[in-house]
Structure 1
Amino acid sequence: MPVSPRLARAAKFAVIPAALAVSGLLVAQSSYSAFSARTDNPGNSWASGSVALTDDDNGVAMFDVTNLKPGDSGSKCLTVTSNGSLPSDVRLYAEAGEATKNLDQHLSLKITQAASCDAATKDTIFDGTLNEFHTSKTNFSTGAGSWATAGGEGEKQAYTVAYTLSDDTPNSAQGGTAKVNFVWEAQNQ
């Protein structure tokens, strides 16, 4: 159907107001987008802390004693160092304890802790037989000691382990053996 000239003229004039309305909206939108604000917080990162222990044993057992007889005794001091960045609790316990001929029941241990090996005052953290130590102090939760580190490099605590083979050790313990691993464990609380 052909478009009449009058309708064509009316359509021509109707386009102008529509075009003006659209361009007005675009200008209004462009004006609005000129106002903006922003803030950011860049460079966020996370790193975990650490709990770390070493000791001054140089890979050598504190004790390698042979030919014990009733009444024999000895002691050694070992210094444990915390180099962790987190505060932690440190406890001492036994691992891999074993004995033959019940020697561990006649070998008494006294374990103390202090700021250094030559400290005048030392706190006793265990006083009993080797058998009692390796059967009761078997993990961190049952461990002996009360060292709470602050969380920094080079914090030290000295542990002295003294032993005595009881004077009343029976003949049945002759040729017996006793072994244990001393383990210091730190846990961040």
Structure 2
Amino acid sequence: MRSLLRRRPRPRPVRTPAVVAAGGALVLAAGLVWHSAYAGFSDATTPLALPTVSTGALTLVDDDSAQRMFVATGIKPGASGTGCVAVTAGGSPATVRLYGTGRATTNALSGQLRLTVELGAPGSRGGASNCNGFTSAGTVYNGTLAAFPTDSWTTGVGSWTTTGSAATARVYRIGWSLPTTAPNSVQNGTASLTFVWEARTK
């Protein structure tokens, strides 16, 4: 840079600031013009309307009118009982499962009391009044009352799904029995459990 300056006549000191200032002004002006032209280009996508969002609706009822399915007192080894209940789900497509809540027992009776749950085939008849016309699609639980899953739809039994196009009903047949091998220690014992049917949308 210095060798180049030596080959040119040095301009007057009073004119140097003006030349530098003018050059800088031209460069700056060119930059502003270029950016202004660049900022003039624009484009946009076609407007897209947001979809309509709404919540679903879900209904679940049983036909026992909140009555106790079993009331058995003074039972002895070898005793048994059976009852049915119809559960109807409607609204949005959902999965229905059965579990228990509020389990209580004395003298460990729940550990001896056997419980079976059968899920009726689609279209099977029966309900809280009786089990006439019940057709089983299979046993969904066979064990003790003490081991029946509680407080969780996730571990519930007797799972079935609805399509959401119309209300769907399924019948459950629930049976209990006290084996003849029950020990004397369960005498004067009690056992209770509340059945809960829960539906969750898909």
| Shorter-chain TM-score above 0.5 | yes
The 2-side partners of 1:59 and 1:165 are apart by 25
* Paired position in structure 2 for 1:131: 146
Greater CA drift, 88-97 or 111-120: 111-120
The 2-side partners of 1:176 and 1:100 are apart by 5
The 1-side partners of 2:67 and 2:176 are apart by 18
User: How many residue pairs align between the two structures?
Assistant: 146
The equivalences for 1:146-157 within 5 A come to: 146-157=159-170
* Paired position in structure 2 for 1:107: 113
The 2-side partners of 1:143 and 1:129 are apart by 15
* Paired position in structure 2 for 1:76: 83
**Partner deviation per Cα, 1:14-68 (whole Å, 9 max, x = no partner):** xxxxxxxxxxxxxxxxxxxxxxxxxxx8xx8543211210000012011111111
CA 1:120–1:159: 2 relative to 1, 3 Å: closer
The 1-side partners of 2:63 and 2:135 are apart by 21
The 1-side partners of 2:60 and 2:89 are apart by 5
Displaced runs of 4 or more, over 6 A? none
Whether 1:187 aligns to 2:194 is no
CA 1:51–1:154: 2 relative to 1, 3 Å: same
**Partner deviation per Cα, 1:110-137 (whole Å, 9 max, x = no partner):** 100113232433311100000010xx34
Q: 1:174 aligns with which of 156, 177, 187?
A: 187
The 2-side partners of 1:121 and 1:160 are apart by 8
Q: 2:54 aligns with which of 47, 51, 56?
A: 47
The answer as to whether partners of 1:113 and 1:124 remain within 8 angstroms in 2 is yes
> In structure 1, the residue corresponding to 2:170 is in which secondary structure?
strand
**RMSD of aligned C-alpha atoms?**
1.9
Gaps of 5+ in 2: 1-48, 127-132
Structure 2 length-normalised TM: 0.67
* Paired position in structure 2 for 1:66: 73
